[in-house]
Amino acid sequence: MSIKVLYFASLRETLGYSHETLTLPADISSVGALRSHLASRGGVWEALGEGRNVRAAVNQDMVGPEAPVADRDEVAFFPPVTGG
């Protein structure tokens, strides 16, 4: 399964990437599993780890960690934002 992952705001700055295309292992089928997979890279990638305040969207729809990820999906990760 191949997906596009986007990183926004401070995550983009921390990770040094705005996007990447990934071929996922068969056991990665949800947003939460994808986050854990990415965080397991270690170092700066731990910014996506469990307990970190990160929001996600799949194909531009806000989702929770249980949301499924399918072939050719676009998954975006970003910190919560506030306005004023």
pTM for this predicted structure: 0.92
Q: Per-residue pLDDT for the chain (84 aa), expressed as one digit of tens each?
A: 999 999 999 999 999 999 999 999 999 999 999 999 999 999 999 999 988 999 999 999 999 999 999 999 999 999 987 555
Q: Are 76 and 57 in contact (CB under 8 A)?
A: yes
CATH number of 2-78: 3.10.20.30
Backbone angles phi, psi at 9, to 5 degrees: 55, -130
Provide the terminal-to-terminal Cα distance of the chain, rounded to the nearest Å: 40
